[in-house]
């Protein structure tokens, strides 16, 4: 696979509909989690900066040209620069970080900032975010909130994260999410620490199957709009 630019990365993530968020407490757990996710069929994952040695993990994973590795919980431009240098193909922040969009645009990396209210979401989009993470989605009304925001900003790819699980996944996708970010319900560190990798693989396959069923039943088309 040739190195994908920001637009292609957004399209790939939107096609997958589910992006695992790896937030664990060691590099070893992060690598085991990603191995399980790849076995389950995932083509991308977000490694949060709260993982010890996250940059090293990203650098190692970026060597696989078939796998899109991203970074999450970015809070400043220094972390953006380090992540891009390590090979991250998408960069996600839970807030609006001044300068993030410019750095990502220059590197042709997908930059994603966050908002919860209409004002915050619009501000992130105006700042140059390639999509907007809606976090924490469950705290603001869940799928109903996503649908309401999508109705107002149909051109903005929305990525609900926070409180997504196997039971409400379809509701978020049908509400208009471009894709969703899923953390603990999918990447459970306790399961990894106990060596229950098969449990992570099984859950990953369930997520992918559920997402495919939404598409087969005519779920909302993922938005992959980008500014020209």
β-strands 180-182, 44-48 pairing:
unpaired
DSSP code at position 167 = T
Please say whether the beta carbons of 188 and 200 come within 8 A.
Answer: yes
Torsion angle (degrees, nearest 10) of CA 196, 199, 200, 205: 160
With the C-alpha atoms ordered 71, 73, 77, 82, is the resulting torsion angle positive or negative? Answer: negative
What's the CA gap between 116 and 21, in Å, rounded? 19
Active site residue 43: no
β-strands 68-72, 90-92 pairing:
parallel
Q: Which of 98, 127, 133, 202 is catalytic?
A: 133
With the C-alpha atoms ordered 180, 32, 187, 207, is the resulting torsion angle positive or negative? Answer: positive
What's the CA gap between 98 and 88, in Å, rounded? 19
Q: Which of 46, 127, 147, 189 is catalytic?
A: 46
Active site residue 46: yes
Looking at the annotation, which residues are catalytic?
Answer: 46, 133
């Amino acid at each position: 696979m040739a190195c994908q630019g920001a637009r292609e990365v957004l399209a790939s993530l939107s096609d997958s509909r589910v992006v695992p968020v790896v937030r664990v407490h060691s590099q070893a757990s992060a690598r085991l989690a990603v191995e399980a996710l790849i076995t389950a069929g995932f083509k991308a994952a977000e490694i949060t900066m709260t993982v010890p040695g996250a940059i090293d993990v990203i650098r190692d994973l970026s060597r696989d040209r078939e796998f899109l590795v991203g970074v999450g919980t970015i809070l400043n431009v220094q972390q953006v620069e380090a992540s891009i240098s390590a090979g991250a193909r998408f960069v996600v922040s839970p807030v609006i970080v001044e300068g993030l969009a410019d750095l990502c645009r220059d590197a042709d990396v997908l930059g994603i900032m966050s908002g919860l209210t209409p004002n915050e979401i619009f501000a992130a989009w105006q700042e140059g975010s390639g999509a907007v993470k809606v976090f924490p989605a469950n705290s603001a009304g869940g799928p109903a909130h996503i649908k309401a925001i999508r109705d107002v900003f149909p051109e903005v790819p929305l990525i609900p994260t926070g409180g997504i699980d196997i039971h409400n996944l379809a509701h978020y996708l049908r509400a208009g999410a471009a894709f969703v970010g899923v953390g603990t319900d999918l990447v459970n560190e306790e399961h990894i620490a106990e060596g229950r990798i098969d449990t992570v693989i099984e859950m990953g396959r369930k997520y992918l199957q559920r997402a495919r069923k939404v598409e087969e039943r005519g779920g909302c088309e993922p938005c992959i709009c980008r500014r020209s």
